[in-house]
Structure 1
Amino acid sequence: MEIGILGGGIAGLSVALALRKQGHTPRVYERRAGPATMGAGVTLWPNAGFVLEELGLLQDIAAAGGRPLVVRRQDAAGNSLGGIDIALLDQTMGYPTHTILRRDLQAVLLNHAAQAGIPVEFGHRAVGIDLEANGKAVARFENGVSICPDLLIGADGRMGSVAREFVAGDNTPVYQGFVNWIGVAQGESALLGDVAIQDYWGAGNRFGCVAVRPELVYWAAAQARPLSGATPAAEMRKEIEDLFAGWPEPIARVIQATPAHAIRMIAVHDLEALHTWSRANVLLVGDAAHAPLPTSGQGACQALEDAWHLARCLEGTSGLDEALLRFAKIRGPKTAKLAEQGRVFARGLFATDPETCRIRNERAKASDPLRDVQALAAGWSQGLPMTGSHSTPMNGADFGSLYRL
């Protein structure tokens, strides 16, 4: 089957790889002139590890990424709020967790796409999708090119998705009341004491840093605020330094180790759950279908799950319509639940009332680490054949403290 994929990010490329393994002929169309590298880094939890191995990517991800062993939570004064034993989570789910810079993940995906003979066409910005008289969709690009594949997959993100507009009509991204500043810090010596995820909670603000290696850290600073114009790039680092002045190390060290010009601010949006994921021969995947907040911890992981499930659905059904309906039926409930959990956690995390924050912190400290791991494993493995006995060696919650940046 000829398959056109709008979007060359995590969702688009992983879907292309999964479908190429099933014998289909995918072609990827990316709006940017070069590889998409938005964002600083991602945490690929064990459910993503399962898909990465299925796609033959896990070894390369391991070579480019880090293996975190723990999540540590603290308040703005440095008091412990508990954490998550990632080594135990990995052992329970049977697959490894990796932290990786987004640009390195993108490079692995593109390298494997090239090895598989999957064309990736850059500089193709989709501007519209129309239905032909025969009921097939035609995608039109800004450069004058049009395509009419057997299956058109929209993996073109949460903001300005042409495919989502075609499938769902007016489904505008919803601002969730906070901004993220993101960056990558590189030090000549260790910025963090070990490969860990460190999460600091304040009142209406948060700072999270994730090590790939002790000297290489990606991070996100967040603050609850009304939607407004962006801060000039030259002033961003000072604004962040002032906002988190007096917070525990390594926050100041990490900010200082980040080039000022490389810091980006993102007004964080998500999307309401869809009633349908397809129209005619157009299917939505990844953020175009189910864009959760960073507080869900599962954006990249669920994009990878989409790839695995779509390949199974196309292989296991006789017709395209049946396959697309089955895919949405499988993926809809899990992704909607994760998106809602991300919203609920964000509301608590970015509360500004001191008493509300105190209760939140006390609940975090009182949580049972073993029960948290078991709950994460049960939720994240849903729908995947994960047995908890994978052969990859394992190094010795509250899901909302496990997040991508």
Structure 2
Amino acid sequence: MPEILIVGAGIGGLTAAIGLRRIGRSVSVIEKATTLGEVGAGLSLWPNALRALDELGVGEAVRAAGVSAVSRGGLRRPSGQWLRHRHPDDIPVLMVHRADLHRTLLDALPADCVRTNATVTEVKQATGGVDVMYRTHDGIRQKEAELVVAADGVHSTVRQQLWPETTKACFDGRSTWRAVTDGILEPAEEAITLARDQQFGLLPLPNGRLYWFLTAAVERQGIRYDDELGEVRRRVGHWHDPIPGILAVTAPSAVLHHDITTLAPLETYVSGRVVLLGDAAHAQSPDLGQGACQAIEDAVVLASALATEHDLDSALERYDQERRPRTQTIAQAAQRQAKLTQANFWAMTSAARLLPRSLWRRQTARWVDWSPPSL
């Protein structure tokens, strides 16, 4: 049977591999990193992603690795004043450590399915498929595939080659600091603390761990600090409890710092026998918490299209028509949310205090009210 090659062994690439194998396709994954793993940060899986994981057959295992929480339910000011407490009617999320999720997905695949230390150097359309050149520790290799799934992130090498006019990732003016804290802390209600140009989020993880993030406007892309934790303390260490205590027990080596980059909407996610998935197709800001969730949705829709359409071209067209409107609408909504927080902070905080709970829930549900196709 012709093989499908997936470029990138992140969350999107692995879920795509699981879905494609579930419909009986031969799949291999190549990953440029020398070892498999994910960054040391938390991740919120919303109900739409959990439904997709259930369809992939790994939902139960993923739930066992996570803990229930409410993301974007509780909102506070830096003084500690609550704008909104979480409520039983809020939509729950499953909080997982990225590394735990990655390990669970890997466990659902054969050990020889993923090859590491393999960097794509060239992708060329060929008659009836795609020729891929990639570099390994022992030289350049070539692989022929019926289909290439590019799941290699916002800076996708595959996208840069085949979508050369529309591939540049855009810096959105903000950086994010993230860490998982293992220190023994009193339980804290999950919340996001809002200031005009900064927000600090706190969410639980299994085994008593806490995940925190700081998103802040910065002067330019690429600024880094010798003491990243010290910079976080400078910015928010004087904010309400328990923020100072959480930072006090965070290991400096646990702090990750990345600039936030997004993609402008692409006209198509398909080029010949190459298809984009996840951040390679629709990288978005983290303001709605849907980045990884949308990659997981992509994987299920792609597998379903390949399983049910009469030929490959029809399957790819269906994938593009189903995924591009939804993912681009959510990406644009996330960017609007970011701009609202910065440009009209008063309106944002007023809405948090005054919106009826039913309306608040509907605002969230419009992004997560999605069910996957059957595999």
Give the whole-Å Cα distance in 2 for the aligned partners of 1:85 and 1:33. 44
* Alignment partner of 1:300 is 2:302: no
Counterparts of 1:182-331 in structure 2 under 5 Å?
182-190=178-186, 192-193=187-188, 197-213=190-206, 215-232=208-225, 234-331=226-323
Give the whole-Å Cα distance in 1 for the aligned partners of 2:270 and 2:316. 7
Question: Contact 1:223–1:350 at 8 Å: present in 2 too?
Answer: no
SS in 2 for 1:81: strand
Task: Note the C-alpha offset of 1:385.
Answer: 6.4
* Alignment partner of 1:128 is 2:129: no
What residue ranges of structure 1 are gaps of 5+ in the alignment? 91-96, 387-405
Give the whole-Å Cα distance in 2 for the aligned partners of 1:125 and 1:51. 29
Question: More displaced, 314-323 or 139-148?
Answer: 139-148
Give the whole-Å Cα distance in 1 for the aligned partners of 2:85 and 2:118. 43
Distance 1:138 1:185, change over 3 A: same
Question: Contact 1:84–1:369 at 8 Å: present in 2 too?
Answer: no
Distance 1:48 1:86, change over 3 A: farther
Task: Note the C-alpha offset of 1:86.
Answer: 6.3
Question: Contact 1:168–1:276 at 8 Å: present in 2 too?
Answer: no
Residue 108 of structure 2, aligned match among 90, 103, 112: 112
Task: Note the C-alpha offset of 1:118.
Answer: 5.9
Question: Contact 2:171–2:221 at 8 Å: present in 1 too?
Answer: no
Give the whole-Å Cα distance in 2 for the aligned partners of 1:35 and 1:274. 29
Question: More displaced, 263-272 or 251-260?
Answer: 251-260
Distance 1:113 1:197, change over 3 A: farther
SS in 2 for 1:67: strand
Question: More displaced, 134-143 or 339-348?
Answer: 134-143
Distance 1:382 1:229, change over 3 A: closer
Residue 146 of structure 1, aligned match among 142, 146, 155: 142
Give the whole-Å Cα distance in 2 for the aligned partners of 1:311 and 1:148. 20
Question: Contact 2:42–2:205 at 8 Å: present in 1 too?
Answer: no
Distance 1:36 1:236, change over 3 A: same
Counterparts of 1:1-400 in structure 2 under 5 Å?
1-38=2-39, 40-69=41-70, 71-83=73-85, 85=87, 88-90=90-92, 97-114=93-110, 119-132=113-126, 134=127, 136-143=129-136, 144-159=140-155, 161-170=156-165, 171-190=167-186, 192-193=187-188, 197-213=190-206, 215-232=208-225, 234-351=226-343, 356-382=344-370, 384=372
Deviations 1:137-189 (A, max 9, x none): 21211221221111110000002x11212332132000001100111111234
Question: Contact 2:52–2:372 at 8 Å: present in 1 too?
Answer: no
Q: Please, what TM-score do these two structures have when normalized by structure 1?
A: 0.86
Which residue type is aligned with residue 193 of structure 2?
Answer: Y
Question: Contact 2:237–2:247 at 8 Å: present in 1 too?
Answer: no
Which residue type is aligned with residue 197 of structure 2?
Answer: G
Task: Note the C-alpha offset of 1:245.
Answer: 2.8
Give the whole-Å Cα distance in 2 for the aligned partners of 1:152 and 1:187. 43
Residue 94 of structure 1 is matched in structure 2 by none
Give the whole-Å Cα distance in 2 for the aligned partners of 1:69 and 1:34. 32
Give the whole-Å Cα distance in 1 for the aligned partners of 2:287 and 2:57. 28
Which residue type is aligned with residue 162 of structure 2?
Answer: V
Deviations 1:9-41 (A, max 9, x none): 000000000110100011111110111313511
Deviations 1:216-254 (A, max 9, x none): 11111121012244323x411111111113211121122
Give the whole-Å Cα distance in 2 for the aligned partners of 1:165 and 1:37. 23
Question: Contact 1:69–1:87 at 8 Å: present in 2 too?
Answer: no
Which residue type is aligned with residue 348 of structure 1?
Answer: L
Question: More displaced, 65-74 or 305-314?
Answer: 65-74
SS in 2 for 1:182: strand
**Structure 1 vs Structure 2: percent identity of aligned residues?**
27
Which residue type is aligned with residue 326 of structure 2?
Answer: K
Q: Please, what TM-score do these two structures have when normalized by structure 2?
A: 0.93
The alignment's C-alpha RMSD in Å is 2.0
What residue ranges of structure 2 are gaps of 5+ in the alignment? none
Give the whole-Å Cα distance in 2 for the aligned partners of 1:344 and 1:213. 32
Question: Contact 1:204–1:350 at 8 Å: present in 2 too?
Answer: yes
Give the whole-Å Cα distance in 2 for the aligned partners of 1:199 and 1:106. 26
Task: Note the C-alpha offset of 1:350.
Answer: 3.2
Question: Contact 1:129–1:162 at 8 Å: present in 2 too?
Answer: no
Give the whole-Å Cα distance in 1 for the aligned partners of 2:289 and 2:192. 13
Give the whole-Å Cα distance in 2 for the aligned partners of 1:201 and 1:67. 23
Which residue type is aligned with residue 75 of structure 2?
Answer: R
Which residue type is aligned with residue 111 of structure 1?
Answer: D
